[in-house]
């Protein structure tokens, strides 16, 4: 087994997702993942703190990209503009290859409460990263928290649509559409028209 593999992280991810799908998440060991990837356990632990992190390591990368996108958005960007900048930055890692993995990941997580809990913790951390970046731009605390929640919902909707799409439309296109769909509905929060049919 080669000790230095430039694509080790990706090979470990692919091996893990395949094994989780074949044998179940609980039943798969780190040793098996490393073996399938043609690497050793030490290499696994250089890339991931534990087995759960294979599924959620990308979330930390996303938190960083979102924050960078918001920080480098045009000085006169609106709240929505900042969220669009965050999604554009995230586009860098939302590749067609990741699109296939995302669908595998969703199936594994849906079958395990413990994994759902870890996923929610990561989700909450990304939201905090967005609200912190919005605060840095001068948003007050409530605006920053609202922006983070609406941004995370737009992101979740965009990921769902991206996974289901039959074409390779780039992720930022889905994200911009989801955000715009939510903006239309945001208006209803203050509208006077009733909700019932």
Q: Which is nearer to its own copies, 22 or 117 (CB)?
A: 117
* Residues contacting residue 168 through CB under 8 Å, at least 6 positions apart: 96, 99
Q: How far is the CB of 94 from its own copies (least distance, A)?
A: 20
Residue 147 CB, nearest approach to its own copies (Å): 7
Task: Give me the residues that bind its own copies (CB under 8 A), please.
Answer: 75-82, 113, 116-118, 120-121, 123-124, 134, 137-140, 142-143, 145-147, 149-150, 152-153, 157, 181-183, 185-197
Closest approach, Cβ 58 to its own copies, in A, equals 18
Nearer to its own copies, 3 or 142 (CB): 142
Q: Measured from the CB atom, is 58 or 119 closer to its own copies? A: 119
Closest approach of Cβ 74 to its own copies, in Å?
8
């Amino acid at each position: 087994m080669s000790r230095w593999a430039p694509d080790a992280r990706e090979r470990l991810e692919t091996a893990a997702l395949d094994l989780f799908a074949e044998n179940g998440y609980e039943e798969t060991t780190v040793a098996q993942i490393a073996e399938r990837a043609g690497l050793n356990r030490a290499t696994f632990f250089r890339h991931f703190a534990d087995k759960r992190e294979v599924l959620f390591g990308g979330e930390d990368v996303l938190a960083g990209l979102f924050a960078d996108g918001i920080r480098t958005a045009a000085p006169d960007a609106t709240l929505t503009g900042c969220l669009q900048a965050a999604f554009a930055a995230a586009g860098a890692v939302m590749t067609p290859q990741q699109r296939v993995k995302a669908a595998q990941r969703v199936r594994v997580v849906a079958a395990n409460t413990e994994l759902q809990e870890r996923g929610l913790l990561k989700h909450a951390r990304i939201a905090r990263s967005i609200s912190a970046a919005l605060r840095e731009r001068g948003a007050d605390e409530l605006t920053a928290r609202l922006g983070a929640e609406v941004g995370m919902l737009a992101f979740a909707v965009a990921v769902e649509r991206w996974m289901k799409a039959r074409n390779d439309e780039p992720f930022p296109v889905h994200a911009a559409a989801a955000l715009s769909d939510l903006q239309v509905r945001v208006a209803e929060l203050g509208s006077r028209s009733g909700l019932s049919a």
